[in-house]
Structure 1
Protein backbone atom coordinates (compact mmCIF):
# COMPACT_ATOMS: atom_id res chain seq x y z
CA UNK A 1 0.00 0.00 0.00
CA UNK A 2 1.29 3.47 -0.83
CA UNK A 3 2.65 5.65 1.94
CA UNK A 4 0.11 8.38 1.17
CA UNK A 5 -2.73 5.88 1.57
CA UNK A 6 -1.33 4.59 4.88
CA UNK A 7 -0.97 8.15 6.19
CA UNK A 8 -4.53 8.97 5.12
CA UNK A 9 -5.89 5.87 6.91
CA UNK A 10 -3.92 6.73 10.03
CA UNK A 11 -5.19 10.33 10.06
CA UNK A 12 -8.78 9.13 9.66
CA UNK A 13 -8.27 6.70 12.52
CA UNK A 14 -6.94 9.51 14.72
CA UNK A 15 -9.81 11.85 13.78
CA UNK A 16 -12.36 9.16 14.55
CA UNK A 17 -10.78 8.35 17.93
CA UNK A 18 -9.27 11.65 19.09
CA UNK A 19 -11.65 11.72 22.07
CA UNK A 20 -10.10 8.54 23.42
CA UNK A 21 -6.63 10.12 23.34
CA UNK A 22 -7.90 13.34 24.93
CA UNK A 23 -9.46 11.37 27.80
CA UNK A 24 -6.15 9.72 28.57
CA UNK A 25 -4.37 13.08 28.41
CA UNK A 26 -6.90 14.70 30.77
CA UNK A 27 -6.55 11.82 33.21
CA UNK A 28 -2.76 11.94 33.42
CA UNK A 29 -1.96 15.63 32.83
CA UNK A 30 -3.49 18.64 34.48
CA UNK A 31 -2.05 21.55 32.55
CA UNK A 32 -2.93 22.33 28.95
CA UNK A 33 0.71 22.30 27.94
CA UNK A 34 1.32 18.86 29.47
CA UNK A 35 -1.83 17.51 27.82
CA UNK A 36 -0.65 18.76 24.43
CA UNK A 37 2.79 17.22 24.96
CA UNK A 38 1.29 13.89 25.98
CA UNK A 39 -1.14 13.99 23.04
CA UNK A 40 1.78 14.44 20.63
CA UNK A 41 3.75 11.65 22.30
CA UNK A 42 0.77 9.30 22.05
CA UNK A 43 0.35 10.16 18.37
CA UNK A 44 4.02 9.41 17.76
CA UNK A 45 3.71 6.05 19.52
CA UNK A 46 0.52 5.20 17.62
CA UNK A 47 2.23 6.03 14.32
CA UNK A 48 5.23 3.84 15.22
CA UNK A 49 2.94 0.93 16.05
CA UNK A 50 0.45 1.44 13.23
CA UNK A 51 2.24 -0.81 10.77
CA UNK A 52 1.99 -3.72 13.24
CA UNK A 53 -1.75 -3.32 13.90
CA UNK A 54 -3.43 -6.41 12.43
CA UNK A 55 -7.11 -6.00 13.39
CA UNK A 56 -6.79 -8.81 15.95
CA UNK A 57 -8.46 -6.56 18.51
CA UNK A 58 -10.72 -3.53 18.35
CA UNK A 59 -9.03 -0.34 17.20
CA UNK A 60 -10.10 1.35 20.42
CA UNK A 61 -8.51 -1.42 22.51
CA UNK A 62 -5.25 -1.09 20.57
CA UNK A 63 -5.30 2.70 20.91
CA UNK A 64 -6.08 2.57 24.63
CA UNK A 65 -3.21 0.15 25.20
CA UNK A 66 -0.70 2.42 23.46
CA UNK A 67 -2.10 5.65 24.94
CA UNK A 68 -2.14 4.31 28.49
CA UNK A 69 1.28 2.70 28.20
CA UNK A 70 2.67 5.98 26.89
CA UNK A 71 1.05 7.98 29.69
CA UNK A 72 2.08 5.55 32.41
CA UNK A 73 5.62 4.95 31.22
CA UNK A 74 8.43 7.39 30.56
CA UNK A 75 6.43 10.48 29.67
CA UNK A 76 4.67 10.67 33.03
CA UNK A 77 7.89 10.05 34.94
CA UNK A 78 9.34 13.20 33.36
CA UNK A 79 6.38 15.23 34.62
CA UNK A 80 6.65 14.70 38.40
CA UNK A 81 4.69 17.55 39.95
CA UNK A 82 2.33 17.90 42.86
CA UNK A 83 -1.15 18.49 41.50
CA UNK A 84 -3.98 19.96 43.55
CA UNK A 85 -7.53 20.64 42.63
CA UNK A 86 -8.08 24.40 42.49
CA UNK A 87 -10.77 26.16 44.40
CA UNK A 88 -14.16 26.31 42.86
CA UNK A 89 -15.32 29.73 41.74
CA UNK A 90 -17.83 31.48 43.95
CA UNK A 91 -21.39 30.65 42.99
CA UNK A 92 -24.56 32.63 43.44
CA UNK A 93 -27.18 31.74 46.05
CA UNK A 94 -29.45 30.78 43.17
CA UNK A 95 -27.10 27.99 42.13
CA UNK A 96 -26.79 26.81 45.72
CA UNK A 97 -30.56 26.46 45.91
CA UNK A 98 -30.50 24.09 42.98
CA UNK A 99 -27.70 21.96 44.39
CA UNK A 100 -25.31 22.75 41.57
CA UNK A 101 -22.61 24.05 43.88
CA UNK A 102 -22.88 20.96 46.07
CA UNK A 103 -22.61 18.75 43.00
CA UNK A 104 -19.50 20.65 41.82
CA UNK A 105 -17.95 20.27 45.25
CA UNK A 106 -18.57 16.52 45.26
CA UNK A 107 -17.11 16.28 41.77
CA UNK A 108 -14.01 18.22 42.86
CA UNK A 109 -13.54 15.87 45.84
CA UNK A 110 -13.89 12.86 43.54
CA UNK A 111 -11.43 14.34 41.03
CA UNK A 112 -8.95 14.93 43.84
CA UNK A 113 -9.43 11.34 45.02
CA UNK A 114 -8.79 10.00 41.52
CA UNK A 115 -5.68 12.19 41.27
CA UNK A 116 -4.36 10.35 44.32
CA UNK A 117 -4.66 6.93 42.67
CA UNK A 118 -1.72 5.14 41.10
CA UNK A 119 -1.29 5.27 37.33
CA UNK A 120 -2.68 1.76 36.86
CA UNK A 121 -5.63 2.51 39.14
CA UNK A 122 -6.43 5.64 37.09
CA UNK A 123 -6.37 3.56 33.91
CA UNK A 124 -8.74 1.01 35.43
CA UNK A 125 -11.13 3.75 36.57
CA UNK A 126 -11.10 5.39 33.13
CA UNK A 127 -11.82 2.12 31.34
CA UNK A 128 -14.54 1.29 33.89
CA UNK A 129 -16.19 4.67 33.36
CA UNK A 130 -15.96 4.06 29.61
CA UNK A 131 -18.05 0.94 30.32
CA UNK A 132 -15.35 -1.35 28.93
CA UNK A 133 -15.78 -5.01 29.77
CA UNK A 134 -13.27 -6.74 32.03
CA UNK A 135 -12.17 -8.71 28.96
CA UNK A 136 -11.36 -5.45 27.13
CA UNK A 137 -9.59 -4.11 30.21
CA UNK A 138 -7.51 -7.29 30.31
CA UNK A 139 -6.53 -6.80 26.66
CA UNK A 140 -5.62 -3.15 27.18
CA UNK A 141 -3.80 -3.45 30.50
CA UNK A 142 -2.49 -7.00 30.39
CA UNK A 143 -3.98 -7.75 33.82
CA UNK A 144 -6.14 -10.84 34.34
CA UNK A 145 -9.87 -10.34 34.82
CA UNK A 146 -9.92 -11.71 38.36
CA UNK A 147 -7.10 -9.35 39.37
CA UNK A 148 -8.92 -6.47 37.69
CA UNK A 149 -12.07 -7.20 39.69
CA UNK A 150 -10.11 -7.26 42.95
CA UNK A 151 -8.30 -4.03 42.02
CA UNK A 152 -11.60 -2.38 41.08
CA UNK A 153 -13.12 -3.27 44.45
CA UNK A 154 -10.08 -1.85 46.23
CA UNK A 155 -10.21 1.32 44.13
CA UNK A 156 -13.89 1.80 44.93
CA UNK A 157 -13.12 1.43 48.63
CA UNK A 158 -10.25 3.96 48.38
CA UNK A 159 -12.52 6.45 46.64
CA UNK A 160 -15.29 5.92 49.21
CA UNK A 161 -12.85 6.55 52.07
CA UNK A 162 -11.37 9.63 50.41
CA UNK A 163 -14.74 11.15 49.57
CA UNK A 164 -16.19 10.41 53.01
CA UNK A 165 -18.78 7.94 51.74
CA UNK A 166 -17.41 4.90 53.60
Structure 2
Protein backbone atom coordinates (compact mmCIF):
# COMPACT_ATOMS: atom_id res chain seq x y z
CA UNK A 1 0.00 0.00 0.00
CA UNK A 2 1.47 3.35 -0.95
CA UNK A 3 1.75 6.03 1.70
CA UNK A 4 -0.07 8.43 -0.65
CA UNK A 5 -3.10 6.15 -0.77
CA UNK A 6 -3.10 5.77 3.00
CA UNK A 7 -2.65 9.52 3.56
CA UNK A 8 -5.29 10.60 1.03
CA UNK A 9 -7.91 7.87 1.16
CA UNK A 10 -7.70 6.14 4.54
CA UNK A 11 -6.27 8.57 7.07
CA UNK A 12 -9.06 11.18 6.63
CA UNK A 13 -11.54 8.42 7.57
CA UNK A 14 -9.46 6.89 10.37
CA UNK A 15 -12.00 8.08 12.96
CA UNK A 16 -14.70 5.97 11.33
CA UNK A 17 -12.45 2.92 11.19
CA UNK A 18 -11.25 3.38 14.77
CA UNK A 19 -14.76 3.67 16.24
CA UNK A 20 -16.06 0.62 14.44
CA UNK A 21 -12.99 -1.50 15.19
CA UNK A 22 -13.13 -0.46 18.85
CA UNK A 23 -16.75 -1.55 19.09
CA UNK A 24 -15.84 -5.04 17.91
CA UNK A 25 -12.66 -5.61 19.95
CA UNK A 26 -11.76 -6.06 23.60
CA UNK A 27 -8.00 -5.52 23.58
CA UNK A 28 -5.53 -3.09 22.08
CA UNK A 29 -3.90 -5.97 20.20
CA UNK A 30 -7.18 -7.08 18.60
CA UNK A 31 -8.03 -3.47 17.82
CA UNK A 32 -4.72 -3.01 15.99
CA UNK A 33 -5.23 -6.26 14.07
CA UNK A 34 -8.74 -5.23 13.01
CA UNK A 35 -7.60 -1.74 12.01
CA UNK A 36 -4.74 -3.13 9.94
CA UNK A 37 -6.99 -5.67 8.23
CA UNK A 38 -9.56 -2.97 7.39
CA UNK A 39 -6.87 -0.75 5.85
CA UNK A 40 -5.54 -3.68 3.84
CA UNK A 41 -9.01 -4.58 2.55
CA UNK A 42 -9.72 -0.96 1.58
CA UNK A 43 -6.50 -0.89 -0.39
CA UNK A 44 -7.13 -4.29 -2.01
CA UNK A 45 -10.66 -3.39 -3.08
CA UNK A 46 -10.03 0.24 -4.06
CA UNK A 47 -10.57 -0.54 -7.74
CA UNK A 48 -14.02 -1.93 -6.94
CA UNK A 49 -15.26 1.47 -5.75
CA UNK A 50 -17.91 2.46 -8.30
CA UNK A 51 -18.77 5.91 -6.92
CA UNK A 52 -22.42 4.85 -6.39
CA UNK A 53 -22.10 6.31 -2.91
CA UNK A 54 -19.75 8.56 -0.96
CA UNK A 55 -16.27 7.29 -0.21
CA UNK A 56 -17.10 7.48 3.51
CA UNK A 57 -20.11 5.20 3.01
CA UNK A 58 -17.89 2.74 1.18
CA UNK A 59 -15.33 2.92 4.04
CA UNK A 60 -18.11 2.18 6.57
CA UNK A 61 -19.29 -0.78 4.56
CA UNK A 62 -15.82 -2.31 4.19
CA UNK A 63 -14.98 -1.67 7.85
CA UNK A 64 -18.17 -3.29 9.07
CA UNK A 65 -17.80 -6.26 6.74
CA UNK A 66 -14.18 -6.84 7.80
CA UNK A 67 -15.03 -6.54 11.51
CA UNK A 68 -18.02 -8.86 11.22
CA UNK A 69 -15.94 -11.39 9.27
CA UNK A 70 -13.14 -11.28 11.84
CA UNK A 71 -15.65 -11.62 14.71
CA UNK A 72 -17.23 -14.68 13.11
CA UNK A 73 -13.79 -16.20 12.51
CA UNK A 74 -12.85 -15.46 16.12
CA UNK A 75 -16.06 -17.08 17.41
CA UNK A 76 -15.33 -20.24 15.44
CA UNK A 77 -11.81 -20.37 16.84
CA UNK A 78 -13.00 -19.69 20.42
CA UNK A 79 -15.57 -22.46 20.26
CA UNK A 80 -12.78 -24.83 19.28
CA UNK A 81 -10.63 -23.77 22.23
CA UNK A 82 -13.54 -23.80 24.69
CA UNK A 83 -11.87 -21.25 26.91
CA UNK A 84 -13.26 -18.01 28.29
CA UNK A 85 -11.31 -14.73 28.42
CA UNK A 86 -12.08 -12.23 31.13
CA UNK A 87 -12.77 -9.17 28.94
CA UNK A 88 -13.01 -6.92 31.98
CA UNK A 89 -9.38 -7.61 32.89
CA UNK A 90 -8.24 -7.26 29.29
CA UNK A 91 -10.03 -3.93 28.96
CA UNK A 92 -8.43 -2.57 32.14
CA UNK A 93 -4.95 -3.60 31.02
CA UNK A 94 -4.99 -1.65 27.76
CA UNK A 95 -4.28 2.06 27.80
CA UNK A 96 -6.63 2.79 24.89
CA UNK A 97 -9.47 1.46 27.00
CA UNK A 98 -8.98 3.54 30.19
CA UNK A 99 -11.98 5.94 30.09
CA UNK A 100 -14.52 4.27 32.41
CA UNK A 101 -17.67 5.92 31.06
CA UNK A 102 -16.61 5.20 27.49
CA UNK A 103 -15.86 1.61 28.49
CA UNK A 104 -19.37 1.27 29.91
CA UNK A 105 -20.88 2.54 26.66
CA UNK A 106 -18.72 0.26 24.51
CA UNK A 107 -19.49 -2.69 26.80
CA UNK A 108 -23.21 -2.04 26.37
CA UNK A 109 -22.82 -1.65 22.60
CA UNK A 110 -20.82 -4.89 22.42
CA UNK A 111 -23.71 -6.75 24.04
CA UNK A 112 -25.93 -5.93 21.06
CA UNK A 113 -26.37 -8.21 18.08
CA UNK A 114 -23.82 -7.53 15.34
CA UNK A 115 -26.19 -5.66 13.02
CA UNK A 116 -27.67 -3.60 15.85
CA UNK A 117 -24.15 -2.72 16.94
CA UNK A 118 -23.37 -1.46 13.44
CA UNK A 119 -26.60 0.53 13.28
CA UNK A 120 -26.02 2.33 16.58
CA UNK A 121 -22.41 3.13 15.66
CA UNK A 122 -23.56 4.71 12.42
CA UNK A 123 -26.28 6.59 14.30
CA UNK A 124 -23.69 7.91 16.75
CA UNK A 125 -21.69 9.08 13.74
CA UNK A 126 -24.79 11.12 12.80
CA UNK A 127 -25.41 9.25 9.58
CA UNK A 128 -28.86 9.69 8.07
CA UNK A 129 -31.31 6.80 8.09
CA UNK A 130 -30.85 6.58 4.32
CA UNK A 131 -27.06 6.31 4.68
CA UNK A 132 -27.37 3.72 7.44
CA UNK A 133 -29.76 1.71 5.30
CA UNK A 134 -27.33 1.81 2.36
CA UNK A 135 -24.40 0.70 4.50
CA UNK A 136 -26.23 -2.04 6.41
CA UNK A 137 -28.42 -3.25 3.58
CA UNK A 138 -31.85 -2.71 5.16
CA UNK A 139 -34.72 -0.41 4.28
CA UNK A 140 -34.50 3.18 5.51
CA UNK A 141 -37.88 3.08 7.26
CA UNK A 142 -36.76 0.10 9.35
CA UNK A 143 -33.66 1.95 10.55
CA UNK A 144 -35.61 4.43 12.72
CA UNK A 145 -37.55 1.69 14.45
CA UNK A 146 -34.40 -0.33 15.13
CA UNK A 147 -32.54 2.73 16.44
CA UNK A 148 -35.30 3.48 18.95
CA UNK A 149 -35.30 -0.11 20.18
CA UNK A 150 -31.52 -0.18 20.42
CA UNK A 151 -31.43 3.09 22.36
CA UNK A 152 -33.97 1.74 24.85
CA UNK A 153 -31.90 -1.41 25.35
CA UNK A 154 -28.73 0.62 25.87
CA UNK A 155 -30.44 3.00 28.31
CA UNK A 156 -31.71 0.07 30.34
CA UNK A 157 -28.31 -1.64 30.41
CA UNK A 158 -26.43 1.51 31.34
CA UNK A 159 -28.97 2.42 34.03
CA UNK A 160 -28.62 -1.06 35.56
CA UNK A 161 -24.82 -0.84 35.56
CA UNK A 162 -24.68 2.64 37.08
CA UNK A 163 -27.36 2.05 39.71
What TM-score do you get using the length of structure 2 for normalisation?
Answer: 0.76
| CA-CA distance at 1:76 after TM superposition | 0.9
Corresponding position of 1:141: 136
Corresponding position of 1:110: 105
2:116/2:150 contact within 8 Å kept: yes
Greater relative CO, 1 or 2 (CA 8 Å, sep 6+): 2
Aligned residues: 144
**Aligned equivalent of 1:18, options 14, 18, 31:** 14
Distance in 2, Cα, partners of 1:131 & 1:63: 15
Deviations 1:81-128 (A, max 9, x none): 65644598xxxxxxxxxxxxxxx7655443322121111111111111
C-alpha distance 133-83 of structure 1, shift in aligned 2 (>3 A)? farther
Corresponding position of 1:122: 117
The 3-state SS of whatever aligns with 1:64 is: helix
What TM-score do you get using the length of structure 1 for normalisation?
Answer: 0.75
Task: Tell me how large the CA RMSD over aligned residues is.
Answer: 2.5
**Aligned equivalent of 2:57, options 39, 55, 61:** 61
1:25/1:39 contact within 8 Å kept: yes
Corresponding position of 2:78: none
Q: Counterparts in 2 of 1:56-95, with a 5 A limit?
A: 56-73=52-69, 75-80=70-75, 84-85=87-88
Deviations 1:113-165 (A, max 9, x none): 21211111111111111100001101111111121112111111211221237
Corresponding position of 1:42: 38
C-alpha distance 130-46 of structure 1, shift in aligned 2 (>3 A)? same
Larger radius of gyration: 1
C-alpha distance 55-83 of structure 1, shift in aligned 2 (>3 A)? farther
